[in-house]
Amino acid sequence: MKHGNKFLLMLTGVLLSSPALAHSNDISSGLLAGFMHPLTGFDHLLALILAGVFIGRNVFTRQRRVGFLLMFLLSLAMGAGAGLALGAQAWIESAILLSLPVFFALQWLKQTNITAMIIGLFMLAHGWAHGVEMSMINSSFLFGFLLSSMLAMSFSVFIGMRLRSHSISHA
């Protein structure tokens, strides 16, 4: 069996098994709940996809793509921590609403440190909203939340790379 298939089999087992709920009988607080959380909100999922597509279309070296993914994940994690610690803030929902048209607009701009910082700040807001929504937070929930966010953005990076190569070949 190939390594990729073994990893997918292991990941499926972890996500579907009872111990994956992180010592809790409440499915709203474990790994599976954390994994599904960012994928069930359209605005959050679209933000993750657009951030990944931006990386794929505009960041040309593998090392920098990984760096951008990690930076955006760190922004999500820091936002989640702030949301847990500080609770709801009036500006968060406005920032999330504003993030989508900004992320769309950034698709046509070249990658610069400023565009990356803009995306990072909006990812902070998205993470903050998730932190506020997380009841009975535990490390498994947070791990699942960040894992699915990373997978959604990573998959979208490949879409962005395909879009970039498609536009170059048709130019």
Q: pLDDT 10s digit of each residue in the chain, 171 long?
A: 555 444 444 444 444 433 333 333 345 568 898 899 888 888 899 999 999 999 999 888 999 999 999 999 999 999 999 998 999 999 999 999 999 999 999 988 877 788 889 999 999 999 998 888 776 667 888 899 999 999 999 999 999 999 888 777 766
Count of CB atoms situated within 10 Å of the CB of 104 = 13
Q: How many CA atoms lie within 13 A of 16 on its CB side?
A: 6
Q: What is the pLDDT of residues 9-38, one digit of tens each?
A: 444 444 443 333 333 334 556 889 889 988
pLDDT of residue 9: 44
Q: Where are the alpha helices (DSSP H) in the chain?
A: 3-16, 31-36, 42-58, 62-86, 90-106, 113-133, 139-169
Surface-to-core class of residue 64, CB atoms within 10 Å of its CB (0-12 exposed, 13-18 middle, 19+ buried): middle
Q: Using CB atoms within 10 Å of the CB of residue 111, give its burial: 0 to 12 exposed, 13 to 18 middle, 19+ buried.
A: middle
Q: What local confidence, expressed as pLDDT, does residue 102 receive? A: 95
Please tell me the pTM assigned to this model.
0.78
End-to-end CA distance of the chain: 41
Tokens 């803009």 locate to 118
Distances (CA, A) of 139 to 30, 81, 105, 147, 158: 8, 11, 35, 12, 29
Question: Around 23, how many Cα atoms within 13 Å sit in the side-chain half-sphere?
Answer: 4
DSSP type of residue 81: H
